[in-house]
Amino acid sequence: MSSRRRVVLGVGGGIAAYKACLLLRLLTESGHEVRVVPTRSALEFVGAPTWAALSGQPVSTEVWDDVHEVPHVRLGRQADLVVVAPATADLLARAAHGLADDLLTNTLLTARCPVILAPAMHTEMWEHPATQANVALLRKRGVVVLDPASGRLTGADSGPGRLPEPEALFAACRAVLERADRPFSTDLAGRTVVISSGGTREPLDPVRYLGNRSSGKQGYALAETAAARGARVVLVTTSSLPDPPGAEIVRVETAEQLRGAVLAAAEDADVVVMAAAVADFRPATTSGHKIKKTDDGGAPTVELVRNPDVLAELAGARRRPGQVVVGFAAETGDATGSVLDHGRAKLARKGCDLLVVNEVGEGRTFGLDTTTAVLLDREGGEQEIPEGSKQALAHAVWDAVSLRLDVGEGRAPAR
């Protein structure tokens, strides 16, 4: 995110307000102009001087301050993004029902930009039917309401209701701001998407494994952007990156574990994206103890067996009617063909709807924050994705997926 954007950071009255200070720092250090709009109760947790010092902007909770500037209208109109963290149960209810008794709720009503709400509250409050009805209503209107994280709450309580970590919230903001020059779309609202991410590890013994260089960053970018576009996201991952907000995380390690988790989650999914680098082979046997070096200088022989082809299963007999299946191909090119030659052959062989072809190697794709790719479709189309962030590639994938979902249902493409 190199361009400067105007962000309104709303802060609700919950103990998690302290995390918003770190989110504010991440946004300002990325070059954005951030105006903090707390509720009155939020100032009981973090005072106005802190917000003003960190943002370099005036802080107010009231529509009566600086009336000549009409802040209750101006802030929402001028913003490129409004993000509220934490969003309490009370604040969600007021936003859902259009109440406007302070500067923040007035801003939410006047905003014509994307709005992200990050709930944080006790588990019982989050799970209450009233809160869930308010969340459903907000999402139906196009507001991005992230699912809270699970973990330690206040006191000894633990469960869903925890505000995601600032880095994860920043990633959600970045996923929206990446497309600030385009009309905002929640075209995946009501959809369930399953994404696999990271490189699998096939154990040789309790210490060693066969693996690859995949970091999982592309899969996480896909999860962040899908959530920002309104989807319910299930992320099956081998990675230890911070959990993307709004995604249900299923952690796995081996190809067999990944297969089981993805196939189970895909049973009620509209879209499945296999971004994980799944090992083609695994050791035929795994030693129960660490394999030792021998005095004769020899080395053990490792027999390999084929892993199941998860993408081919998903695109074949396992596919639900109307389900869109997306694969990834990490290629290097060789004497038998170019990167694209191998990609086209893989698309035909697997039978998926879309295939993202990456050229990989030293200093290419794996572990980086940027990437280039070519997006192939089963009808023979090819779209070159220029070098850019992995979030930008993720959005290009979701654009293509959304078009296929709309056409499959006989609807005009989402705008």
What is the pLDDT, as a whole number, of residue 365? 61
Which whole number is the average pLDDT over 164-175? 89
Which pLDDT band holds residue 407 (cuts at 50, 70, 90)? low
- The 10s digit of each residue's pLDDT in 337-375 is 888 888 899 999 999 999 999 886 565 566 677 888 999
Counting Cα atoms < 13 Å in the Cβ hemisphere of 282 gives: 20
Q: Is residue 160 within 8 Å of 110, Cβ to Cβ?
A: no
Which pLDDT band holds residue 13 (cuts at 50, 70, 90)? very high
Q: How far apart are CA 85 and CA 301, in angstroms?
A: 54
Which whole number is the average pLDDT over 19-28? 96
Q: How far apart are CA 236 and CA 212, in angstroms?
A: 17
Q: Is the dihedral of CA 241, 247, 253, 254 positive or negative?
A: negative
Lowest mean pLDDT among 81-90, 154-163, 219-228, 296-305: 154-163
Which pLDDT band holds residue 278 (cuts at 50, 70, 90)? very high
Q: Which of 390, 15, 340, 39 is nearest to 197 (CA)?
A: 390
Q: So where are the chain's domains?
A: 6-177, 192-408
Lowest mean pLDDT among 13-27, 188-202, 220-234, 400-414: 400-414
Asked whether the predicted pLDDT for residue 335 surpasses 90, the reply is no
What is the pLDDT, as a whole number, of residue 363? 58
Q: How far apart are CA 237 and CA 379, in angstroms?
A: 30
What are φ and ψ of residue 388, in 5° steps? -175, -170
Token couple for 320: 């639900």
Asked whether the predicted pLDDT for residue 66 surpasses 70, the reply is no
Q: Mind giving me the DSSP string for 211-267? A: --S--SHHHHHHHHHHHHTT-EEEEEES--SPPPTTEEEEE--SHHHHHHHHHHHHT
DSSP state of 319: P
Which pLDDT band holds residue 183 (cuts at 50, 70, 90)? low
Q: Which CATH architecture has domain 192-408?
A: 3-Layer(aba) Sandwich (3.40)
Q: Which residue has the higher pLDDT, 216 or 361?
A: 216
List the CATH code of the domain at 6-177: 3.40.50.1950
Q: How far apart are CA 373 and CA 364, in angstroms?
A: 11
What is the pLDDT, as a whole number, of residue 77? 86
- Quick one: 365 exposed, middle or buried, by C-beta within 10 A (0-12, 13-18, 19+)? buried
Which whole number is the average pLDDT over 287-308? 88
Which whole number is the average pLDDT over 390-407? 89
The Cβ of residue 307 has, within 10 Å, a number of other Cβ atoms equal to 18
Token couple for 300: 């053990």
Catalytic residues, by residue number, are 212
DSSP state of 66: T
Q: Is residue 41 within 8 Å of 28, Cβ to Cβ?
A: no
Token couple for 332: 């290097």
Q: Which of 254, 283, 278 is nearest to 350 (CA)?
A: 278
Q: Is residue 405 within 8 Å of 230, Cβ to Cβ?
A: no
pTM of the model: 0.76
Q: Is the dihedral of CA 141, 266, 277, 211 positive or negative?
A: positive
How far from the centroid of its chain's Cα atoms is residue 372's Cα?
19
- The 10s digit of each residue's pLDDT in 35-63 is 999 999 999 999 999 999 999 998 987 76
- Quick one: 380 exposed, middle or buried, by C-beta within 10 A (0-12, 13-18, 19+)? exposed
Which SS3 state, helix, strand or coil, does residue 140 take?
helix
Q: How far apart are CA 275 and CA 282, in angstroms?
A: 19
What is the pLDDT, as a whole number, of residue 87? 97
Do the domains spanning 6-177 and 192-408 agree at the CATH topology level? yes
What is the pLDDT, as a whole number, of residue 2? 45
